[in-house]
Structure 1
Amino acid sequence: MANNHFYSHFDKALRAGATAASGGRLQGQAEVKLVDLNDAANQRTANASYELFGPGDVERLAAGAITRRFPAPFASNAEVTKLALVEFSAVDLPWRYTPQLAGAAGLRPWLVLVVGQRSANDIVLRPDGRVTLGLVAQFNHRLGESLKWAHVHEVAGHATVARLLAPSPAGAGNYLDDTEYVACLVPAFTASGDDAWDGTRPVTCALYDWWSFRTGPAGDFRDLARKLHKAALVPKPGGKPFGIAQVSYASRAAPQTTTQLQTAGALRLPRVPGDPPDPADDAPPNDVVQETAALARRIVTPDGRPVVTSPRYDATFGDANGPDDPVDNGWIAQLRNDPRLRGAAGLGAWNAVEWQDRISAAAVLKAGDLAIAAGRIRHVALGVEVSRSLWRRRLPADSPERIAVLMPSLGRLLTTAGRSALDEVAGRTPQLSRALLSSAARRALRPGPARTALSADGRAPFGAVIVAANECPDDRADPAGIRSTGRDPDAAVKQAIVEAARGDMGLADAILQHLGSHPGPGAVAAALRALAAGPGGKPDLEAVKRFLGMRAFPEPDLSVLEWDGWMNEHASHEPCRAIDLEAFAGIVSKAIDPTVARPPAVERVLATLPGIEHIGPVEIEPELDLPLWSFVSERAPDWMLPGAGDLLDGDVVALGTNPVFVESYLVGANHQASAELRWRNVPLVTRWSPLRKFWQRKSSVLDIVPIRQWKAADPLGSAALLPPDHPGDEAVVAFRTTLFRRYPSTVVYLYQQENDWDAPAPDLALDLNKRVDPSFTGTIGRDLTFFGFPVKPQELLDYWVVLEEPPAGYRFYHVPDPLLPGSEVHSADYAHRRFAVPVRVMIGRLLHDPA
């Protein structure tokens, strides 16, 4: 609470300066100073009387005046231990219209938050928008104590807020559980400044805001979190350990015997270094192996008819004509020889049978996506083949002609600078314009029409036009050079102006007339600047117009014979940077060449089709987003966690995932799902394993690679069967509590312990670098919730398990904190003792350390 500060009230200057109260309004005098803006020494000071609005002047609250209501309107599971409250955007609002002067004990608010039940004796919401408060409501909200119910809350780094609390029901302490309440914001004073009620008769008053909420069961997050503790995993009567299930195998050979095999479910107790081997990992006896394997061997009658035997779960994904004796200790041998793993695969098959409609619907949707992808692939493949044929037959070898053919694409080719290729080359020379590099120019200069048929030899091919446009113009004659040789200066100026006008004699005459006879160097330079060619190769008429309006020209501080360098600086030719046509044609050709292995069009289309890498026949193996853990949890919870029902309320237990069970389960589920989908005529890729997700992770991580990629020698649980980004076996923490059902947004994570399990202070911020968030979560039954983390189960030796109360704004308890003794005369004290610090629970040493 170090960053939280409470104040009893907030007064603005005029309220604080009031000296009297009359008719429900405060009155006072304020000193007013008038200053002459033109003469600061000329000032006049006088006292001005004022009167402030009171509660009788308020018709309603403006929109946005209330920023928060707690419990939230229409909440159905509100905490019985927390007070109802409202927060305001203006820090002075609860006291702004109070018709009384502040006393030694503080200032009463002019608003009261009344909370009660709907009844004639408590609260009655009237159809005219007002509210009637019965004697019960008045008894629970004695206005003489309203001083304590409003305060200002200042939090370092956050906005300061004004808050109004509703007091606890008299004699009850907390709200009643599973009860509907209504909260009403009403004035505490009448228009004349008297108390709005005195507890002797029902009172009808204005209603500025209201909402209703319903409480949940007794207790809150703090109460439920206090019950959590490390589970004492005591074996049940008969010696059956927690987390281990018994599988009874009855032999078929005489004399018949029963073998008890211990097995684990999808979740199991972790083993730490020094622990004895887990009996669930022991191989079954040899006689059990032989009898179990015999059940899946092929049997053919003497006349060649096959006999139905026990399922061979691997057959869907391997060689149907493969050997009857698989590789020892490989996954196929395990699924044929171990009855426990066959049981897990059978559970997966049962899952696929029960979810056949759901699986089929998801598969049909994927098949539809596959058809769409195949259509796109066929279209792009056809387009690529056609473009390759046209490229080879129609693209000229000559670079200028090649540019002429490809130039319509220049506007769509981006350079590394982010501009188009057309932007990079247009305007490099006076004639190389955007109009010339367009399909319209290509059509205008196509062979055939008179404009090209009657052109001079060598001028008709469009490539020749591009070559000519790419040439820089010859240097114009420099008048300075002509003057320096003793020639006629006026004739030299005229020649320069005519050349700069590009043959437009009318424009040249207008410029020469404005220059007059014997123009100076500054005037000639200004004229040549005005005639500089623009992007279209023509002078800018606006620049010419500005020149014709000029009457004075700045002259250089040079003699006429020395101004050639000055002219090159101030009247230089327009820039001209011819392009290398051969290199440019090669760059453009390479960018759109359809004859390469992966043309740009193919790259763009494949980028929209995840999982497809080429434009050949489409065969992909999409996975269905159907996590299967929920079926086990609902239909066979003992296979999820054997002994889960033995955990008591408040138990917390450390567990780990069991990849061997998960992989066996997924093999059986895919075996059955493939058969069902083929029966429904859903198009399948050979040896497809569509169900590859068991846990419901936040990310897209799957639990197995496609089963057709499994090698016969790879055992179940090995890294070879897992995707590259899969963490393997993961730590899991399970809780037997109603806390997560009541507070589903509870934050759960692991936090690395240090200093020999010295827990950080509750109000101390934790280091985010030591925090590990869960990767998946789930439930078993109604009240058993588990969280999986991307660390090895054995690493729980070094982590706290942390639970943090869901953030829901600042709240206050009905009952004051006994650890904060003191009086509650001021509202700041009242709020301080009831302030609900967010709860953080840290549970450590969930795993025993054998060392």
Structure 2
Amino acid sequence: MTRRFLPWWRTGAAALVTRADGPALPARAELPVEATVNALHTATVTARLYGPGEVIGLDPRQVIRTDPVEHTTDFEPNLFPLIEFDAPELPWAFTPATADAADQLRPWLVLVVVPRAAARGPAHDGRPLPVLALDDARSQLPDLAQSWAWAHLQVTGTEATPTILTGPDPARTLSRLLCPRRLAGDTAYVAAVVPAFAQGVAAGLGQPVDAGELRPAWGPTTTAVELPVLFSWEFATGPVGDFEELAARLRPHPLAADDLAGLPVTVTDQPAGVPDAGTIHVPGALGTGDDLPPDVEPEVLESLASLLEIPGPVAIPADLPLPLPAYGRWHAGQRVAPTPTGTKWFDQLTLHPAARAVAALGTRAVQERQEQLMASAWAQVGEVARLNRLLRHGQLAREATRVLHRRVVPLNGSSRDAAEALVLAGPARHRLLGIDGVRTVAEHIATSRVPEALFTAAARRVLRVRGPLGRRAGVSATDLVLRADERDGRPGAALVGQPPRLPPGTITIEPLGSEDELPRLCGLGPGWWLERPGPRATLGPVAELSAWFAPCDGPGPPPALLPDEQVWAVRDGLDPERTVTTKVRSRVRVPSTWVPRDPLEPVLVAPEFPTPMYRWVRDHAPDLLLPGIGEIPVDSVSLVGTNPWFSAAFLAGLNHEMARELLWRGYPTDQRGTCFRRFWDRSVAVPPLTGADLDDIRPLPDWPLEEPLERAGLPPGPRPASELVLLLRGELPHRYPRATIYATKAVWTTTAAGERVHALPAAPVEEHAVFGGTLGADVTFRGFAISPNQARGDDVEPGYYIVLQEQPTEARFGLDGSAPTVPTGTWGDLSWETVTVSASGHVALGGTDPIVVPPGGNPRGLHFSTATTAAHIAGVVEQRPYRVAVHAAVLLPREDT
């Protein structure tokens, strides 16, 4: 939306006032009013409008914004304090005049800002308004003759101005008062809205109001003064310099590649007969982006390999108390000594003196904070102890039940063993799947020829071997199951014991000879026959009876239960390896990353510490974070690259030592956990990152063993191995923490001379930082997911620009703190050094422009003088968001020649 400024605005009857602003104004405006009665009689009366002397208060709801806000402690001294009102006509509503020929109109109230030390109040003392008292108004208050210049109206929109001002949307208009005072740095101030005319002062103080000529509230000779306050707030300024000035102070400072090569370390006079390695450079966490330590003599590596704690006990020299730790041995799964000439990450980490030094720095970090780390680790373990206790109990139950299972359900037994197993499993028959894997064992029994009652607890109790019936009959439930399963309807012995004794005279069916002599009965199926009757005379009735039945096409006899086959399903269903394991695992929830061979194996976990560990290096070894960090000049900007070799070695040492500490403290771990994965602070990323995107390394057990150290730990994804890092040393990031810092890809353009050069795109695609932080007290850094080579560009790719941009805010007004080194010849160069400042510290408007504007450089024809309007002045002093951009090639490390 378009923002425009107007010098003043009147509504209602005040808009009808025709007397121009100037000297000798009345205290109240008068308007002639003609009244016509019944179209016959006309009378003229004088209407007197309210003036400044009738105002004794201001609705605080009219105040919609102050800049700075109340209790601000770091307001930029070069800016103007301001207050905004909701009503667009409020500053001129009670001025008894209209604008003069120059379109200037004094407001009836003004904004004054005075040092806290020079003012008393505002305080309530029984008068209508709080009172602000000053001992010397001449040195503290602005010139009221120029009050018209510091009150204006703002409208937002592209429509015509009257349409906006009279429209239904009041949010698109406001009025504003400015105080053009030059503030001092680090000073407390009181800002107050006070009457601009003596009549308003008298009304606010409860004094008689002079109805005569309108007079200003103070003049050039006024000393002590008491002013009624309509609204007030307090604030303090910060150090001198706004965003534009602080950004203009920054100078490119490309660091020397040789200085970034690493911290020189002398390796001499080593114990245990280790040969001297001389002076080697240990690369830091930041550098050129591809920094690696120099090679060392093979005999040094061989000597170190002979002193490691791997593969086992070795003869320790007298001057070496313990074997040297083999960093990452458990994470890499290594049980043999590393190869001195190897290129694997484990070989490099364990044997190279520079890598060992960085890893040892990580172990020191754990040792210094072991108590805090262990307290956090135990706090994280939570229910793991209870979980492992339940899993161990499950292991005990499984092993004990497995012995009983093998005895009750033999793997290779006889048919009798199988039937006995089915009987013993009878109470669980409804929960066990049968041999087909679809129906339960109970359903198989119900459709077989074996009565289901034989598998009940009552049958087992009645037919138990040592029971009365079992001893007398000599049979068990197992016997009956076998006999019932073998019986197919053919003649045979009864199921239980001897044939029953029948009462005398009972007619029975006895064997009749061959089966061909006995007709089949329909419905019983093939193979089912009536048993032969003893007397031949019964054959006829039986034949007649069978004649009543249809041919025997019905289903056959019930199938056999086949205990020899069913027992395998029962054995699997009762196997404690499955039943106990399933029961226990249903009660626990283990980490998804924990996949042991034994499902009931106690869980081994590793705590996680999300703290970005660069902070520890910064506080304990700053020269290893950035070699030569103390040589970076103040107010400079540089670009470097991250060094994945350093972060991998440091985090590997951290995790190795933490695993040892966890094992020593009895923590449930297997020494292969990756407790530390974050070196840089990626919580500042825009947009925010989550999960593994916050990590700088993947879990150590996942590091490809064949990869070198600088590549092994890189997490998967599009992130470059070395990431671009911007270094800022100065006040800018501290004074403006919300400033936008981003990278954007440059474009090629051609100059008038035909030279192809880099240019900032018209619509830049912003690539924001993915990590950041501070290095010391005054060095701020931001990291981007761009490699240093991508940022530099080449003959084909244009590279990237780094942009520092002031956070867009609502309208702010003021002047630059200092004149620019290279003036542009526009109003943007207007500074406190180029304007006239009165004795009271306020801007004094002159008759000519304070700077020279070349033809065409000032299209609106603005003049910072008394011959202009408040709207023009507002346009001149408005402070627009500032942006500075520099190509990465100018900031990246340089090769010394």
TM class by smaller structure: 0.5 to 0.7
2:608 is the alignment partner of 1:623: yes
Question: What amino acid sits opposite 1:11 in the alignment?
Answer: R
Q: Conserved in 2, the CA contact under 8 Å of 1:651 and 1:736?
A: yes
For 1:339 and 1:731, how far apart are their aligned partners in 2?
27
Q: 1:828 to 1:316 in 2, by over 3 A?
A: same
1:742 counterpart = 2:761: no
Does the aligned pair in 2 maintain the 1:101–1:107 contact within 8 Å? Answer: yes
Q: What is the match of residue 188 of structure 1?
A: 196
Alignment of 1:453-468 (within 5 A): none
- Change over 3 Å in CA distance of 1:261–1:89 after alignment to 2: same
Where does residue 842 of structure 1 map in the other structure? 885
1:164 is matched with 177
Give the C-alpha shift of residue 256 in structure 1. Answer: 7.0
CA distance in 1, matches of 2:137, 2:331: 74
Please state if 1:244 is matched with 2:267. Answer: no
Distance of aligned partners of 1:612 and 1:151 in 2 relative to their CA distance in 1, 3 Å threshold: farther
Q: 1:680 and 1:288, CA in 2 relative to 1: closer, same or farther beyond 3 A? A: same
Instruction: Give 1:188 deviation, angstroms.
Output: 1.2
Rate the CA distance shift 1:368–1:352 in 2: closer, same or farther, 3 A.
Answer: same
Counterparts of 1:741-760 in structure 2, within 5 Å, are 741-756=734-749, 757-760=757-760
Out of 752, 770, 778, the residue aligned to residue 775 of structure 1 is: 770
Q: Conserved in 1, the CA contact under 8 Å of 2:254 and 2:892?
A: no
Provide TM-score, normalisation by structure 1: 0.64
Amino acid at match of 1:250: T
8 Å CA contact 1:621, 1:688 repeated in 2: yes
Whether the aligned pair in 2 keeps the contact of 1:652 and 1:734 (CA below 8 Å) is yes
Instruction: Write the distance in 1 (CA, Å) between the matches of 2:711 and 2:112.
Output: 64
SS at 2:358's partner residue? helix
CA shift for structure 1 position 17 = 0.6
Equivalent position of 2:218 in the other structure: 197
Q: What CA distance in whole angstroms lies between the structure 2 residues aligned with 1:807 and 1:362?
A: 42
1:670 and 2:655 aligned: yes
Residue 643 (str. 1) matches residue 638 (str. 2): no
Change (3 A) 1:31 1:650: farther
Report the Cα offset of residue 829 of structure 1. Answer: 2.3
1:367 counterpart (347, 359, 381)? 381
Q: 2:149 matched to 1:148?
A: yes
Tell me what 2:703 maps to: 710
What is the CA-CA distance between 1:250 and the residue it aligns to?
Answer: 1.8
* Kept in 2: contact 1:113–1:185 (CA 8 A): yes
AA paired with 2:875?
Answer: H
Kindly provide the amino acid, as one letter, of the partner of residue 708 in structure 1. P
Residue 849 (structure 1) shift: 10
Q: In the superposition, relative to structure 1, how do residues 785 and 135 fare at CA in structure 2: closer, same or farther (>3 Å)?
A: same
Report the CA distance between 1:164 and its aligned residue.
0.7
Superposition deviation, residue 311 in structure 1:
2.0
The offset of 1:150, in angstroms, is: 0.6
Cα distance in 2 for partners of 1:390, 1:784 equals 77
1:133 offset after TM fit, Å? 3.5
Match of 2:239 among 213, 217, 223: 217
Q: Summarize deviations over 1:377-408 as a string: whole Å, max 9, x none.
A: 99xxxxxxxxxx999948999xxxxxxxxxxx
**Is residue 791 from structure 1 mapped to residue 790 from structure 2 by the alignment?**
no
Q: Kindly provide the amino acid, as one letter, of the partner of residue 105 in structure 2.
A: L
Match of 1:356 in 2: 370
Give the stretch that moved more between structures: 211-220 or 335-344: 211-220
TM-score (norm 2): 0.61
Quote the residue 2:62 is aligned against.
65
For 1:75-154, list aligned pairs within 5 A.
75-104=72-101, 105-119=103-117, 122=119, 124-128=121-125, 129-136=130-137, 140-154=141-155
What is aligned with 2:559?
Answer: none
How far did 1:146 drift? 0.6
Instruction: Give me the whole-angstrom Cα distance separating, in 2, the residues matched to 1:302 and 1:156.
Output: 84
> Deviation string for 1:728-787 (max 9, x for gaps)?
3211111222211222222100011012455459xx7x33xx221100002111122111
1:285 CA drift (Å): 2.6
Deviation at residue 318 of structure 1 after TM alignment: 4.4
Distance of aligned partners of 1:155 and 1:364 in 2 relative to their CA distance in 1, 3 Å threshold:
farther
Give the residue type in structure 1 aligned to 2:113: V
In the TM superposition, what is the alpha-carbon distance from 1:145 to its structure 2 partner?
1.2
Partner of 1:574: none
In the alignment, the residues of structure 2 paired with residue 144 and residue 390 of structure 1 have an alpha-carbon distance, to the nearest angstrom, of 107
What is the match of residue 297 of structure 2? Answer: 285
Closer, same or farther: CA 139–667 of 1 in aligned 2, 3 Å = closer
- Counterpart CA distance in 1 for 2:710 and 2:338 is 23
CA RMSD in angstroms comes to 4.5
Q: How many residues align?
A: 613
**Pairing partner for 2:863 from 802, 808, 822:** 822
Q: Give SS of 1:241's match.
A: coil
Q: CA deviation at 1:282?
A: 3.7
Task: Indicate conservation of the 8 Å contact 2:760/2:801, yes or no.
Answer: no
Aligned mates of 1:50, 1:620 — CA distance in 2: 88
2-structure distance, mates of 1:372, 1:84: 63
What secondary structure sits across from 1:785 in the alignment? strand
Q: Which residue of 1 aligns with 2:323?
A: 309
Measured in 2, the distance between the counterparts of 1:139 and 1:697 equals 49
Cα distance in 1 for partners of 2:123, 2:67 equals 23
The answer to whether structure 1 residue 265 and structure 2 residue 288 are counterparts is: no
The alpha-carbon deviation at position 47 of structure 1 amounts to 8.4
Q: Which amino acid aligns with 2:872?
A: D
Give the distance between the partners of 1:376 and 1:17, measured in 2 at CA. 91
Equivalent position of 2:186 in the other structure: 178
CA contact (8 A) 2:678 2:697 kept: yes
Aligned with 1:313: secondary structure? coil
Deviation for aligned residue 1:793? 2.0
Q: Please show how residues 375-414 of structure 1 align to structure 2 within 5 Å.
A: 393=430
8 Å CA contact 1:20, 1:28 repeated in 2: no
**After superposition, what is the alpha-carbon deviation per residue over 1:69-89, rounded to whole angstroms, capped at 9, x for unaligned?**
112221122211111111122
Per mean C-alpha deviation after superposition, the further-off stretch among 202-211 and 20-29 is 20-29
How far is the alpha carbon of 1:667 from its aligned partner?
1.0
Q: Residue 308 of structure 2 contacts residue 337 of structure 2 at CA under 8 Å; is this kept in 1?
A: no
Question: Which secondary structure does the structure 2 equivalent of 1:211 belong to?
Answer: strand
**How far apart are the structure 2 equivalents of 1:796 and 1:130?**
60
The separation in 2 between residues aligned to 1:281 and 1:669, in whole angstroms, is 20
CA deviation string 1:632-686 (max 9, x = no partner): 1121111011011111123222211111110100011112222333444444354
CA distance in structure 2 between the aligned counterparts of 1:211 and 1:286, rounded to whole angstroms = 74
**AA aligned opposite 1:828:** A
State yes or no: 1:689 paired with 2:674: yes
Question: Could you tell me which residue of structure 2 aligns to residue 433 of structure 1?
Answer: none
- Whichever of the two has the greater Rg, that structure is 2
TM-aligned CA deviation for residue 791 of structure 1: 1.6
For the 8 Å contact 2:703–2:712, the answer to whether it is kept is: no
Shift of 1:338: 0.7
| Counterpart AA for 1:796 | A
Correspondence for 2:6: 7
Q: Give the secondary-structure state (helix, strand or coil) at the position aligned to 1:290.
A: helix
Distance change >3 Å, CA 185–CA 758, structure 1 → 2: farther
In 2: Cα distance, 1:117 partner to 1:12 partner: 36
* 3-state SS of 1:25 partner: coil
Residue 137 of structure 2 contacts residue 223 of structure 2 at CA under 8 Å; is this kept in 1? no
**What residue identity is the alignment partner of 2:766?**
R
Residue by residue over 1:419-460, the C-alpha shift from the partner in whole angstroms, topping out at 9 and shown as x without a partner, is: xxxxxxxxxxxxxxxxxxxxxxxxxxxxxxxxxxxxxxxxxx
